């Protein structure tokens, strides 16, 4: 059966890291080696991982995992689609509305090792530092 892949990111306090990794293994059979851990500026962790679902299967991300968002990746940059659209508006000084977002090229090098998301409707760009977990 064909699968769809969803890239997710979860914010976790360091003291709950092992508990969360155990939950990922139990619920989705995601092994620790398949989870990438990044440290945020605030000292919390951002975990990124892929969930494989059947094409017709759906999950309620917010119900399954608190503080989790669906993200996308370009090189070493993570982003949400809504945040990418807001970034394009900001970078190219565009007014929200009927914009062809695909015709604007982002300089991804400027956003290397960052997470681009919206917080209360505003663009929020977090620095990420990759952590190695044992």
Q: Which residue has the higher pLDDT, 97 or 61?
A: 61
pLDDT digits (tens, 9 = 90+) for 13-40: 999 999 999 999 999 999 999 999 999 9
pLDDT digits (tens, 9 = 90+) for 63-106: 888 899 999 999 999 999 999 999 999 999 998 877 787 789 99
Contact 87, 106 (CB under 8 A): yes
> Given a cut of 90, is residue 1 above it in pLDDT?
no
> Given a cut of 90, is residue 62 above it in pLDDT?
no
pLDDT at 133: 81
Q: Which is it for the CA torsion 56, 57, 62, 65, positive or negative? A: negative
> Given a cut of 80, is residue 134 above it in pLDDT?
no
State the Cα–Cα distance between residues 40 and 108, nearest whole angstrom: 19
């Amino acid at each position: 059966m064909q699968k769809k892949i969803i890239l997710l990111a979860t914010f976790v306090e360091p003291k709950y890291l092992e508990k969360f990794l155990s939950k990922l293994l139990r619920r989705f059979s995601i092994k620790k080696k398949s989870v990438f851990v990044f440290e945020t500026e605030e000292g919390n962790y951002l975990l990124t991982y892929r969930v494989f679902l059947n094409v017709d299967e759906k999950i309620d991300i917010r119900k399954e995992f608190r503080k989790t968002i669906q993200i996308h990746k370009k090189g070493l940059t993570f982003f949400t689609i809504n945040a990418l659209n807001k970034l394009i508006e900001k970078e190219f000084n565009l007014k929200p509305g009927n914009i062809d977002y695909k015709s604007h090229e982002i300089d991804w090098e400027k956003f290397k090792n960052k997470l681009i998301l919206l917080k209360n409707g505003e663009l929020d760009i977090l620095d990420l530092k990759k952590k190695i977990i044992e």
